[in-house]
């Protein structure tokens, strides 16, 4: 590790002032990903700004429009077990608890969850070339070990996936990311927060330099009646998703009135295809219709060898999760889908 300066921020303006000093500055909150990256010699912050003292971002509050405001510094655990989240946004609670380990969730913050880096093996190996770590050096994953990698939304330069579970649910809920920075406050719709790799895979999201995530807004609709989060992985705990699906449904007279389907583990950002959701409106929620929607969502999907299996797995996961969403009881540990 390199030598670095460590400073505690007293409030938002102090944090924004301190982070602007020097070129290699970084905020730190839970630190669960930053410290990993640092120990692997992948980042070298020289000016570390501890924002854990910013009390304004440590609570979860109801908003006047019937939604909820999640402080960026609330831990993932506190969010998952918050009474309002459990009652109104159980999809989010379920997704958070599918991620990482209890110890990590107790330390990781909501803001940090959005900013975590890909877990591509080559990205974490400082001896390997990697366009995301060092632009222009190449992407060994395309011809190498790519079991965990993308099947949609990738580019010639990078086929990595975004690893978060929480963000898959936030995308389904159409959350909004609230940020503050040198140019003032702004709101970023969740679908615009993370980026596809294109020819700039080193840029993961649309947060500007020295901007700070302050909170996440959830709209009124939480899909609390019919929801499901399904995570398929190599082992049942402490593993990243091969494929995950967040589904929220509103039913009316036995037909689908509103639906959100978002996939994780298959792209550089949570993957949502609104064309598939539109297709399902006013249709019955059944296996055939979910399979037709899955074909739309995976249209054009292509594997790189090791990860070819993900295409069929993703389609089946969409169908299974859609059916599980019809029966909230299916969210109990060990419950089986009613296919
Ligand atoms: Fe690097 Fe992306 Fe290729 Fe992985 S997939 S080696 S992160 S460029």
Ligand 1 atom with the shortest distance to the CA of 157: 8
d(CA 182, CA 299): 41
Mind listing the pLDDT tens digit for each residue in 202-229? 999 999 999 999 999 999 999 999 999 9
Ligand 1 atom with the shortest distance to the CA of 121: 4
Q: Quote the tokens at residue 125.
A: 């190996």
Mind listing the pLDDT tens digit for each residue in 159-199? 999 999 999 999 999 999 999 999 999 999 999 999 999 99
The pLDDT of 309-338, averaged and rounded, is 84
In a domain, 136, yes or no: no
At 184, which helix (H) or strand (E)?
Answer: strand 184-189
Ligand 1 pocket check for 123: Cβ under 6 Å = yes
- 172 phi and psi angles, rounded to 5 deg: -65, -35
Q: How much is the pLDDT for 329?
A: 76
Mind listing the pLDDT tens digit for each residue in 122-138? 999 999 999 999 999 99
- In 3-state terms, what secondary structure has residue 140? helix
Ligand 1 pocket check for 267: Cβ under 6 Å = no
Whether 338 shows a pLDDT value over 60: the answer reads no
Nearest CA to ligand 1 atom 1: 130
Most ligand 1 atoms within 8 A of CB, residue of 130, 144, 268 to mutate: 130
Q: Quote the tokens at residue 41.
A: 């010699």
- Whether the model clears a pTM of 0.85, i.e. scores above it, the answer is yes
In a domain, 58, yes or no: no
Q: How much is the pLDDT for 336?
A: 55
- Which residues are CB-neighbours of 157 under 8 A, at least 6 positions away? 131, 139, 197, 198, 199, 201
Mind listing the pLDDT tens digit for each residue in 270-298? 999 999 999 999 999 999 999 999 999 99
Ligand 1 pocket check for 158: Cβ under 6 Å = yes
Q: How much is the pLDDT for 247?
A: 98
Whether 333 shows a pLDDT value over 90: the answer reads no
CATH number at residue 325: 3.30.390.50
Cβ(27)–Cβ(19) below 8 Å = yes
Ligand 1 atom with the shortest distance to the CA of 129: 6
Angle, alpha carbons 203-200-217 (nearest 5°): 35
**Residue where the block lists tokens 């429009």:** 65
Ligand 1 atom with the shortest distance to the CA of 146: 5
Q: How far is the CA of 159 from the centre of ligand 1 (A)?
A: 6
* Residue with more model confidence, 329 or 76: 76
Ligand 1 pocket check for 117: Cβ under 6 Å = no
Q: How far is the CA of 151 from the centre of ligand 1 (A)?
A: 14
Percent of the chain with pLDDT over 70: 97
In a domain, 14, yes or no: yes
In a domain, 323, yes or no: yes
Could you tell me the pLDDT band of residue 72, with boundaries at 50, 70 and 90? very high
Nearest CA to ligand 1 atom 2: 158
Domain count for the chain: 2
Mean pLDDT computed over every residue of the chain: 96
CATH number at residue 33: 3.30.43.10
In a domain, 191, yes or no: no
Q: How much is the pLDDT for 335?
A: 60
In this structure, the dihedral spanned by the alpha carbons of residues 148, 158, 150 and 281, taken in order and rounded to 10 degrees, is 150
Mind listing the pLDDT tens digit for each residue in 230-251? 999 999 889 999 999 999 999 9
Could you tell me the pLDDT band of residue 332, with boundaries at 50, 70 and 90? low
- Which residues are CB-neighbours of 122 under 8 A, at least 6 positions away? 128, 129, 130, 139, 140, 141, 144
Whether 70 shows a pLDDT value over 60: the answer reads yes
Residue numbers of the domain that contains 259: 226-331
Whether 330 shows a pLDDT value over 80: the answer reads no
Beta strand 271-272 with 255-264 is antiparallel
- Domain stop point among 38, 53, 68: 53
The pLDDT of 110-125, averaged and rounded, is 97
Ligand 1 pocket check for 25: Cβ under 6 Å = no
In a domain, 131, yes or no: no
Q: How far is the CA of 79 from the centre of ligand 1 (A)?
A: 31
In a domain, 65, yes or no: no
In a domain, 319, yes or no: yes
């Amino acid at each position: 590790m390199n030598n670095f300066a460590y400073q505690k921020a007293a409030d938002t303006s102090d944090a924004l002032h301190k982070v602007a000093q020097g070129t290699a500055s970084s905020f730190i909150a839970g630190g669960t990903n930053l410290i990993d990256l640092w120990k692997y010699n992948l980042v070298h912050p020289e000016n570390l700004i501890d924002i854990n003292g910013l009390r304004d971002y440590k609570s979860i509050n109801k908003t006047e429009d019937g939604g909820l405001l999640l402080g960026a510094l609330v831990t993932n655990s506190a969010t998952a077990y918050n009474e309002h989240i459990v009652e109104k946004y159980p999809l989010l609670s379920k997704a958070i608890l599918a991620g990482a380990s209890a110890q990590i969730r107790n330390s990781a913050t909501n803001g940090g969850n959005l900013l975590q880096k890909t877990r591509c093996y080559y990205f974490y190996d400082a001896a390997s070339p990697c366009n995301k770590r060092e632009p222009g050096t190449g992407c060994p994953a395309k011809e190498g070990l790519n079991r965990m990698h993308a099947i949609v939304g990738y580019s010639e330069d990078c086929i990595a996936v975004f690893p978060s579970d929480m963000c898959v649910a936030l995308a389904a809920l159409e959350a909004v990311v609230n940020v503050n920075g040198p140019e003032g406050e702004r709101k970023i719709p969740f679908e615009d927060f993370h980026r596809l790799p294109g020819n700039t895979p080193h840029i993961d999201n649309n947060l500007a330099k020295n901007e700070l995530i302050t909170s996440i807004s959830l709209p009124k609709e939480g899909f609390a009646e019919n929801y499901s989060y399904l995570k398929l992985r190599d082992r049942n705990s402490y593993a990243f998703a091969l494929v995950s699906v967040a589904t929220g449904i509103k039913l009316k007279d036995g037909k689908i009135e509103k639906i959100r389907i978002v996939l994780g583990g298959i792209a550089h950002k949570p993957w949502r295809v609104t064309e598939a959701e539109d297709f399902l409106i006013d249709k019955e929620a059944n296996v055939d219709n979910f399979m037709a929607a899955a074909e739309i969502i995976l249209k054009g999907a292509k594997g790189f060898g090791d990860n070819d299996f993900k295409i069929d797995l993703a389609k089946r996961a969409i169908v299974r999760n859609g059916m599980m969403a019809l029966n909230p009881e299916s969210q109990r540990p060990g419950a089986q889908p009613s296919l």
